[in-house]
């Protein structure tokens, strides 16, 4: 699905289903340097289970035009404009990593428009180490290498994918390699500079669900403690043997958590 925002194409995958204003909506927001394809399995599932399932490409990512936006606040405003353009009155926001900060800030800015909030692989603040930031700024491949090393659990590093023939690390590496032309740095720096997370959390009245990987070295579960304490109501799922790239490392475990949250059952 393509719409125009600020004269630029804004793309979202909808699981091959047409947008239906009578259905409840879920907006999926990808992480730094990634795009809508990170959500493919989940996007297709919800599109086939009576939801508008909308996995956006943020500006300057994959099929969306424009330049990558420099702050989490700017990205959140863009996302709210996307939702308004589709005339969605209520939606769930589901964000991974950088996308979790965007979802948090968008819920803060949009108020009652957001009725469910799910944050995967999150931390507030989401500080990024200087070596990674510098490498990304230089568009050096070592930035991708560092992310691959710290974003995956030990099992994933050794090829532990239940889908035969697919290497988790290599697949994620290819996605990030496409974003080395200043996109990855802009995204990482936006995470590093975001300061409004705790204030945003304190203002959000709806229950918030967090999904964290037990072996996440990029955003360890402990780094979400201040965020959890600031939220009015928070529920946390910790996925065992899982790192930061949980959407590809443990898709079934993520799926079951999302079903429990977004559909209210375990089916």
pLDDT at 267 over 90: no
DSSP state of 15: T
In terms of Cβ atoms closer than 10 Å to its own Cβ (0-12, 13-18, 19+), residue 131 is: exposed
Domain presence at residue 140: no
Q: Which domain holds residue 205?
A: 2-125+194-262
Backbone angles phi, psi at 4, to 5 degrees: -110, 130
Q: How confident is the model at residue 158 (pLDDT cuts 50, 70, 90)?
A: low
Structural tokens at position 179: 């974003």
Place of tokens 């532990």: 160
pLDDT at 142: 97
How many residues are listed for the chain in this entry? 267
Residue 161 confidence (pLDDT): 58
Burial class of residue 235, CB neighbours in 10 A (0-12, 13-18, 19+): middle
How many Å apart are CA 178 and CA 195, to the nearest integer? 28
User: Region 151-176: what's the mean pLDDT?
Assistant: 73
Judge whether residue 195 has pLDDT over 60: yes
Beta-bridge partner residues of 93: 27, 117
- Whether the pLDDT of residue 22 is over 60: the answer is yes
Give the per-residue pLDDT at 163: 57
Question: Taking residues 132-161, what's their average pLDDT?
Answer: 87
CATH number where 20 lies: 3.40.50.1820
**Residue 217 forms part of a structural domain:** yes
pLDDT at 168: 77
Q: What is the pLDDT of residue 93?
A: 98
- Measure Cα distances from 108 to 17, 77, 88, 246 in Å: 29, 11, 17, 25
Least confident of 31-35, 174-178, 243-247: 174-178
Cβ 117 vs Cβ 92: under 8 Å: yes
Distance of CA 71 to the CA centre of its chain: 15
pLDDT at 127 over 50: yes
Distance CA 44, CA 200 (A): 30
Nearest in space to 194 (alpha carbons), one of 57, 113, 95, 115: 95
In a domain? residue 233: yes
> Is 72 within a domain?
yes
> How many domains are there within the chain?
1
Question: Whole-number mean pLDDT of the chain?
Answer: 92
Q: How confident is the model at residue 266 (pLDDT cuts 50, 70, 90)?
A: very low
Q: What is the pTM of this model?
A: 0.94
Each residue's pLDDT tens digit, 167-192: 678 888 888 998 988 999 999 999 99
- Quick one: pLDDT at residue 135? 97
Q: What is the pLDDT of residue 56?
A: 98
The residue ranking higher by pLDDT, 174 or 163, is: 174
Q: Are 110 and 139 in contact (CB under 8 A)?
A: no
DSSP state of 219: S
**Does a structural domain hold residue 10?**
yes
The first and second tokens of residue 2, run together, are 């393509």
Percent of the chain with pLDDT over 90: 84
CA 13, 53, 243, 139 torsion-angle sign: positive
* Higher-pLDDT residue of 133, 161: 133
Tokens representing residue 75 in the block: 């990205």
């Amino acid at each position: 699905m393509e719409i125009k925002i600020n004269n630029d194409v804004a793309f979202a995958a909808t699981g091959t289903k047409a947008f239906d204003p009578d259905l409840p909506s879920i907006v999926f927001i990808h992480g730094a340097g990634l795009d809508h394809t990170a959500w493919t399995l989940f996007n297709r599932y919800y599109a086939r289970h009576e939801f508008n399932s909308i996995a956006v490409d943020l500006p300057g990512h994959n099929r969306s035009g424009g330049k990558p936006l420099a702050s989490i606040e700017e990205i959140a405003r863009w996302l709210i404009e996307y939702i308004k353009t589709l005339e969605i009155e209520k939606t769930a926001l589901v964000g991974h990593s950088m996308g979790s900060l965007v979802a948090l800030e968008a819920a803060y800015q949009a108020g009652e428009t957001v009725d469910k909030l799910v944050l995967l692989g999150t931390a507030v603040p989401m500080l990024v180490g200087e070596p990674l930031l510098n490498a990304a700024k230089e568009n050096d491949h070592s930035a991708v290498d560092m992310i691959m090393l710290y974003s995956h659990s030990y099992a994933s590093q050794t090829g532990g994918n239940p889908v035969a023939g697919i290497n988790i690390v290599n697949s994620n590496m290819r996605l990030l390699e496409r974003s080395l032309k200043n996109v990855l740095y802009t995204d990482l720096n936006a995470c590093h500079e975001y300061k409004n997370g705790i204030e945003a959390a304190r203002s959000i009245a709806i229950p918030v669900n967090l999904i964290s990987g037990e072996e996440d070295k990029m955003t360890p579960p402990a780094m979400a403690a201040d965020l959890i304490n600031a939220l009015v109501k928070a529920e946390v799922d910790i996925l065992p043997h899982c790192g930061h790239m949980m959407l590809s490392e443990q898709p079934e475990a993520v799926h079951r958590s999302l079903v429990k949250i977004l559909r209210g059952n375990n089916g």
